Chain A
Amino acid sequence: AQSVTQLDSHVSVSEGTPVLLRCNYSSSYSPSLFWYVQHPNKGLQLLLKYTSAATLVKGINGFEAEFKKSETSFHLTKPSAHMSDAAEYFCVVSASGSARQLTFGSGTQLTVLP
């Protein structure tokens, strides 16, 4: 069984300040972990993914995430928020066993204030 918990349903930051979106996962197998972003009325876009290579993963638009097995966490960060980062972010886990479907977190709505 696999699950993912996004610890904050809403995060609000000022433009130019750091972003931290928190995610904890649970998986019976070595997981693959992803962060997806959904802008209003749009489909989901992959930001980055972890697949058991480097624990620090760099993604698009300046985002990165660190896989910490001891803490079962995969938090998403960005040094400096931009107005265009305002969107909903989903942390996603996929077990490497027979189940290949993605399990999504409940999402974190990021608001960027001017």
Chain B
Amino acid sequence: DSGVTQTPKHLITATGQRVTLRCSPRSGDLSVYWYQQSLDQGLQFLIQYYNGEERAKGNILERFSAQQFPDLHSELNLSSLELGDSALYFCASSGGDRSYNEQFFGPGTRLTVL
């Protein structure tokens, strides 16, 4: 158990809908990262927050957005969902925001868009 929790574990929804994925980092970790894992794209970095502020952006679509709250939990919002958004979404946390900081991954949220 990494100490990172993600809810829900599974999510099934329809095209065009909007969903929110939630992540609670390990106690004391200030950085939260979001990743998308799909069969065709592999594991891709989406976005990073550090202590409430956006720190780095990867291949995140404009339909997706995220935020980190004062209690350091984070939410990833996915809107106007398409079939291709079906994937496993991971959240990770680390104590700092340096490249060498180990990231601890949550168990993921599996999103299925029908």
Contact = CB atoms under 8 A, between A and B. Distances in A.
A10 B33 CA distance: 28
Contacts, number: 57
A100 B99 contact: yes
Interface residues of A, number: 25
Given A43-B2, A45-B2, A90 B43 contact: yes
B101 to A, nearest CB: 8
A102 B99 CA distance: 8
Given A100-B48, A101-B56, A104-B42, A43 B99 contact: no
A46 B102 contact: yes
A84 B69 CA distance: 38
Interface in B57-114: 58, 90, 92, 97-100, 102-108
Contact of A100 (B2, B43, B44, B98): B98
Contacts of A44: 90, 92, 105
A107 B44 CA distance: 12
Nearest to A44: B105
Given A43-B105, A96-B99, A104-B45, 16 more contacts: A31-B99, A36-B105, A43-B90, A45-B2, A51-B100, A94-B99, A96-B98, A99-B56, A100-B48, A100-B55, A100-B56, A101-B33, A101-B48, A102-B45, A105-B42, A107-B42
In the A-B complex, the 6 residue pairs with the smallest Cβ-Cβ separation, listed nearest first, are A94-B99, A101-B45, A104-B43, A51-B100, A43-B105, A44-B105
